[in-house]
Each structure stands twice: as structure tokens, then as C-alpha cells.
Amino acid sequence: MIAPPRQDQPQDWRDRFFRARDGLRLYYREYGDPASDRAPVLCLGGLTRNSRDFDLLARRLAGDRRVICPDLRGRGESDRDPNWRNYRPEVYLDDLRQLLCAARLGKVILIGTSLGGVLGMAMGVAMPSALRAVVLNDTGPAFDVAGIARIIDYVGEDEPQPDWEAAARHMADRFPHLSARNDHIWQRLVHNTYKLAPDGRLHVNWDLNLSRGLKQLVRSELPDLWPFYRSLRNVPVLAFRGAWSDVVTAAAFDRMAEEKPDLIRVTVRDVGHAPTLEEPEVEAALHDFLRDF
């Protein structure tokens, strides 16, 4: 049974806001001690995802380091952009510049899922001095066309659900390969996806206009992302791929290793796009990777 989100749980993060260059009010969660001498972690989610996805990971890491989890514009608690044409990577990168300044972050370990990882690679070109290390979660410089088409298909849809059980059934039907290996993780996925609206129904927690920006990007000539990936040649990188991923192919994952011989790779069994970062093999690999920073 999928219960409503509990309101009595202790809050282990601090709610923060900052202003984008165009005035939008953008949100991030801050975990851990800002004065820690360990490298801070910046967690960036997928196209429609938000800061809540990283809550369990952030709690684990916050014991000895600072963790920042933003909601990109149009997602979660951040403002929706009245101009849908701003839902594009260049604008997101500028927002991240403002965040790094507002949160007084120096070099960060970037953990990026899907779009978040693409932005991490772009930072290697636009803000190379900001990256201490990078974790790419089911993302890279090449994508399967079928996977992108599937993403475009659902981003612009909002099928309001009457309750949390119905929302869970809808997600299970729509995304049969979601990585949810136990009920606790599954409940979090559902709660992180929907938000109770004034009409008493559960709606997706992102701006449906994200699909317009994505379709415009796909219709134009997509940039070659391999130079962005190569910008990380001197940066330690750990990459995860879901074994059933329809976004990052096995061939692309192999080429990533050929282009960067020191790349650390982990294929997560029985998982599609994208691993939740709560899988035991992912947790172990992250622990080993982060302990030197």
C-alpha cells in the first residue's frame, strides 16, 4: 500500500532559494555541514526529476560533507518559467553558475542522473574549474533514439491521479523497468513524482512545457556531446548504466570507456533508466569512489 507522505519525519536538510539571472526564484536543499573540509557534492536530477530523488543518498553523505540538491527551473519547488523557450541546457548552466555563487561552492563532486549528467559534462567545458569529480548515472554523450522518444512522450502529459495507490499503479504500468527493489524505494519514487494540487488530485511535479523545450531541441541539430565528455579527461569519473536502459546503449557505454581509459564503470543489473542510486552495488561503488575526496 502506498501511503501519503508523512509530515512528522525529521527534516535533515535546509530549504534554500536563490535568484536566477532573469529573476526566477529557484530552490535547493542543503544537507550537511557547510564548514566541512570534504569536497561538497552537487546532485542534479533527470529531465522531470527534483531534489527529493537524492534524499537518501544526501543523508548518507551528509555525515561528513555538504550536499546540495537543486530543483532546476520548472521542477519541484522552483518557479515555473513563463517562457518555455528557456527550458534548454544553456539556461540551466547559467542557473548553475548562479547557484555555485549563491551557495558559495568551490570545486564540487557532481552526481548527475540523465539530464543532470549531461549538464555535468557541459560544466566540463563551461566551468571546468568547478569540477572535482563526476558521477554519471545512466547518461553520457550518446543516447538511444527510442529512449529519447519515450521521454518526450511522457514529459508533456499530466494524467491526474485520485490517490497515491492509483498514482503508484500508473507509474508501474508506464515504467515497468523502474529501479525499485523494495517498497520503501517505490514509495519514495511515487511521492517524488506527484504533488497534491488544490483540486484534491495528484499531479506531476514539473512544468508540462518542458516537453515544448525538449521537442524544440530535438527538432534542431543536436550538438555533438562527445567533446563535452572529453572535457572530463582529467577529471575522475564514475559511470553507472542500467542493464535494461533504453537511453544509454551498451555500445555507447563501451565507447565511453575507450575514450576515457580511467573511467570507472558499473552496470546495474535488472534496472532500466535510471538507477535510483540506492542499489547495493551502486552504494558500494559510490562509497569507494568518494572516499578519496
Digit-coded pLDDT (tens) for 103-113: 999 999 999 99
Q: Check whether 181 has a pLDDT greater than 70.
A: no
Q: Pick the range with the lowest mean pLDDT from 37-41, 81-85, 211-215.
A: 211-215
What are the start-end ranges of the H helices in the chain?
55-61, 89-102, 115-126, 145-155, 164-174, 183-193, 210-219, 226-230, 250-259, 280-290
CATH number for the domain spanning 277: value is: 3.40.50.1820
Average pLDDT, the chain: 91
The verdict on residue 198 lying in a domain is: no
Angle subtended at Cα 123 by Cα 121 and Cα 127, rounded to the nearest 5 degrees: 150
Share of the chain above pLDDT 70, in %: 92
pLDDT, position 232: 98
Of 100, 33, 35, 28, give the one whose Cα is nearest residue 61: 33
The verdict on residue 163 lying in a domain is: no
Contact of 72 with 210, CB cutoff 8 Å: no
Helix (H, G, I), strand (E, B) or coil at 199: coil
What Cα–Cα distance (Å) separates residue 228 from each residue in 118, 124, 193, 259? 8, 7, 29, 12
What is the pLDDT averaged over residues 67-73? 98
The verdict on residue 137 lying in a domain is: yes
Q: How many other C-beta atoms can be found within 10 angstroms of the C-beta atom of residue 288?
A: 11
Q: Check whether 4 has a pLDDT greater than 90.
A: no
User: Grid coordinates representing 90?
Assistant: 544553456
Contact of 57 with 116, CB cutoff 8 Å: no
pLDDT, position 8: 47
Count of domains forming the chain: 1
Helix 115-126 × helix 89-102 angle, to 10°: 70
Contact of 93 with 124, CB cutoff 8 Å: no
What DSSP designation does 3 have? Answer: P
Residues 221-265 have pLDDT tens digits of 678 899 999 999 999 999 999 999 989 999 999 999 999 999 999
What is the pLDDT averaged over residues 22-42? 97
pLDDT, position 154: 80
What is the pLDDT averaged over residues 158-174? 89
The verdict on residue 244 lying in a domain is: yes
The verdict on residue 151 lying in a domain is: no
Q: How many other C-beta atoms can be found within 10 angstroms of the C-beta atom of residue 256?
A: 21
What is the pLDDT averaged over residues 8-27? 90
pLDDT, position 200: 95
CA atoms within 13 A on the CB side of 154: 16
Write out the residue range of the structural domain in which residue 42 sits.
14-144+224-290
Does residue 57 or residue 143 have the better pLDDT?
57
pLDDT, position 170: 87
Angle subtended at Cα 133 by Cα 210 and Cα 146, rounded to the nearest 5 degrees: 35
The verdict on residue 65 lying in a domain is: yes
**Confidence tier at 7 by pLDDT (50, 70, 90):** low
The verdict on residue 9 lying in a domain is: no
The verdict on residue 152 lying in a domain is: no
Share of the chain above pLDDT 90, in %: 74
Of 195, 204, 189, 206, give the one whose Cα is nearest residue 87: 206
